[in-house]
Amino acid sequence: MIEVKNIQDTSLAENPVIAQMSKFNHEQLLFCNDNETGLKAIIAVHNTVLGPALGGTRMWMYNNEMDALTDVLRLSRGMTYKNAISGLNLGGGKAVIIGDSRSMKSEALFRRFGKFVNSLGGKYITAEDVGISPIDMTWVNMETDHVVGLPGKSGDPSPVTAHGVYVGMKACAHEQYGTDSLSGKKVLVQGVGHVGEYLVASLAKEGAKIYISDIHEETLKRVASTYGATVVGINEVYDVDMDIYAPCALGATVNDDTLSRLKCSIIAGAANNQLANESVHGVKVMEKGIIYAPDFALNAGGVINCYSEVKSLQSSWALNKAEEIYTTISNIVKRSKNEGIPTYQIANKMAEERIEAIGKVKLPL
Ligand code: NAD
């Protein structure tokens, strides 16, 4: 006799993948496999209420598939919030390619990946991220038009990112010191790579007292002598007497250890995921009277630059749009003070409010 199963008994929530997706309401996941090229990738589309999901592709040697899944779900959701708070008509998505970016890259692998991106019909637009170079993206582009950050197009996003960080830092200064001016302010820039150096250039022009730190001695020396900055050792960073701490290298540098040492009154930098634990350290910075500029709102210049490529806009458009980061940060800090809620929570709320409001606009008449 055939056993008739009650399909209601098999709860979708028991499926770990769907359960993970439903936790933060991800729309779609695409698992990509190709034995010929060795491609193993996951594309996550978190939310497309505001527009196509834009977010880079990361190539990383994950310990296991679950780590890759967790990362792509977390990163794609982050893109939804970043794109929403920046006023862009873009949703959030991200892709991860599981593998060693030093040994596993090939034209065939990236073209195969491009075909998977294309199969989503423009719902997901990809770009470079960790482990991916412009040449890799040109291969992806051979199979799909849904790619940005290509050579000869919108170009290096770092100047736009740095400009957004700079104006957002000024907005914090206005709230904390009553003036936009950073002249004479002691600013420590941790990491003087692509974004950090452009930021140092703007700060030097304004007459800030600049401290810099980096693991690359050559870069450190060059930037110090070009802009008259003072070099600080990697481990001394958190003990420097400073007004503004600008993390532009690594994530999770705002943690229990550093918060017990940091003497700054503003944290505003380009690095992603600066708070080691949002719900703990986002509250602690507020309790210490430090204004923390939420990283995803402050460093949105990069995605603004990508958007200019999606819409074929001039590069000057991206720089002008990045100026709006001043108002965004200013509004976040004001609301945080008024509502007594940490800035990171206010930023999340503002992104969610926009998605909700525009979602209603998009309903049929
Ligand atoms: P980058 O690699 O060019 O620069 C990072 C710099 O940090 C390098 O010079 C590196 O030597 C230095 N560094 C690494 N570890 C360090 C340490 N322990 N102490 C001090 N310095 C250290 O990267 P980037 O493009 O300038 O980006 C900087 C940060 O901003 C990254 O976290 C990135 O994810 C984020 N971000 C960048 C953009 C962009 O447009 N490039 C956009 C958004 C966010």
Please check whether residues 118 and 236 belong to one and the same domain.
no
- Stretch 307-329: mean pLDDT: 95
Distance, CA 160 to ligand 1 centroid (Å)? 14
Residue 12 CB less than 6 A away from ligand 1: no
Could you tell which of 156, 220, 250 is best to mutate to test the pocket of ligand 1, judged by most ligand atoms within 8 Å of the CB?
250
Q: Which atom of ligand 1 is nearest to the CA of 196?
A: 26
Please check whether residues 210 and 338 belong to one and the same domain.
yes
Spacing of C-alpha 356 from chain mean position: 21
Please check whether residues 129 and 163 belong to one and the same domain.
no
Q: Are 106 and 36 in contact (CB under 8 A)?
A: no
Rounded Cα distance, 322 and 303, in Å: 10
Q: Is 362 labeled as catalytic in the residue annotation?
A: no
209 φ, ψ to 5°?
-95, 110
* Residues ≥6 apart with Cβ < 8 Å to 168: 268, 293, 297, 298, 325, 326, 328, 329
Residue 155 CB less than 6 A away from ligand 1: no
Q: Which atom of ligand 1 is nearest to the CA of 299?
A: 43
- Tens of pLDDT, residue by residue over 325-353, are 999 999 999 999 999 999 999 999 999 99
CA quadruple 343, 46, 153, 316: dihedral sign: negative
**DSSP tag of 352:** H
Q: Which atom of ligand 1 is nearest to the CA of 157?
A: 40
Please check whether residues 68 and 168 belong to one and the same domain.
no
Please check whether residues 123 and 164 belong to one and the same domain.
no
Rounded Cα distance, 249 and 145, in Å: 31
Distance, CA 75 to ligand 1 centroid (Å)? 17
Residue 297, domain member (yes or no)? yes
Please check whether residues 110 and 32 belong to one and the same domain.
yes
Please check whether residues 187 and 111 belong to one and the same domain.
no
Using DSSP bridges, classify how beta strands 266-267 and 186-190 pair: parallel, antiparallel or unpaired.
unpaired
Indicate whether 58 pLDDT > 70. yes
Please check whether residues 30 and 65 belong to one and the same domain.
yes
- Report the pLDDT value the prediction gives residue 4, as an integer from 0 to 100: 47
Please check whether residues 137 and 182 belong to one and the same domain.
no
Residue 152, domain member (yes or no)? no
* 80: nearest Cα among 90, 95, 69, 68: 90
Residue 223, domain member (yes or no)? yes
Could you tell which of 81, 163, 194, 245 is best to mutate to test the pocket of ligand 1, judged by most ligand atoms within 8 Å of the CB?
194
- Tens of pLDDT, residue by residue over 162-205, are 999 999 999 999 999 999 999 999 999 999 999 999 999 999 99
Indicate whether 1 pLDDT > 50. no
If DSSP codes are grouped into helix, strand and coil, which group holds residue 59?
A: strand
Query: Whole domain around residue 104: which residue ranges?
Result: 7-74+91-141
- Report the pLDDT value the prediction gives residue 112, as an integer from 0 to 100: 98
Q: Are 275 and 328 in contact (CB under 8 A)?
A: no
Distance, CA 195 to ligand 1 centroid (Å)? 7
Distance, CA 356 to ligand 1 centroid (Å)? 33
Across the chain, mean pLDDT equals: 95
- Tens of pLDDT, residue by residue over 201-257, are 999 999 999 999 999 999 999 999 999 999 999 999 999 999 999 999 989 999 999
Distance, CA 11 to ligand 1 centroid (Å)? 43
Q: Which atom of ligand 1 is nearest to the CA of 190?
A: 20
Residue 162 CB less than 6 A away from ligand 1: no
Residue 364, domain member (yes or no)? no
Please check whether residues 125 and 257 belong to one and the same domain.
no
- Report the pLDDT value the prediction gives residue 151, as an integer from 0 to 100: 86
CATH number of the domain to which 28 belongs? 3.40.50.10860
If DSSP codes are grouped into helix, strand and coil, which group holds residue 289?
A: coil
CA quadruple 201, 203, 204, 210: dihedral sign: negative
- Report the pLDDT value the prediction gives residue 134, as an integer from 0 to 100: 86
Task: Enter the pTM of the model.
Answer: 0.92
Q: Looking at 40, 82, 94, 321, which residue is catalytic? A: 94
Residue 147, domain member (yes or no)? no
Indicate whether 2 pLDDT > 70. no
Q: Which atom of ligand 1 is nearest to the CA of 251?
A: 32
Residue 149, domain member (yes or no)? no
If DSSP codes are grouped into helix, strand and coil, which group holds residue 327?
A: helix
46 pLDDT band, cuts 50/70/90, is: very high
Please check whether residues 212 and 249 belong to one and the same domain.
yes
Torsion of CA 292, 295, 301, 302, to 10 degrees: 160
Indicate whether 14 pLDDT > 70. no
Please check whether residues 134 and 35 belong to one and the same domain.
yes
Write down how long the chain is: 365
Distance, CA 226 to ligand 1 centroid (Å)? 19
Q: How many domains does the chain have?
A: 2
- Tens of pLDDT, residue by residue over 63-82, are 999 999 999 999 999 999 99
Rounded Cα distance, 222 and 227, in Å: 9
- Stretch 286-309: mean pLDDT: 97
CATH number of the domain to which 227 belongs? 3.40.50.720
- Tens of pLDDT, residue by residue over 149-163, are 888 888 889 999 999
DSSP 145-200: S-B---TTTT---HHHHHHHHHHHHHHHHHHHHSS---TT-EEEEE--SHHHHHHH
Residue 363, domain member (yes or no)? no
Rg (CA), the chain: 21
* Residues ≥6 apart with Cβ < 8 Å to 218: none
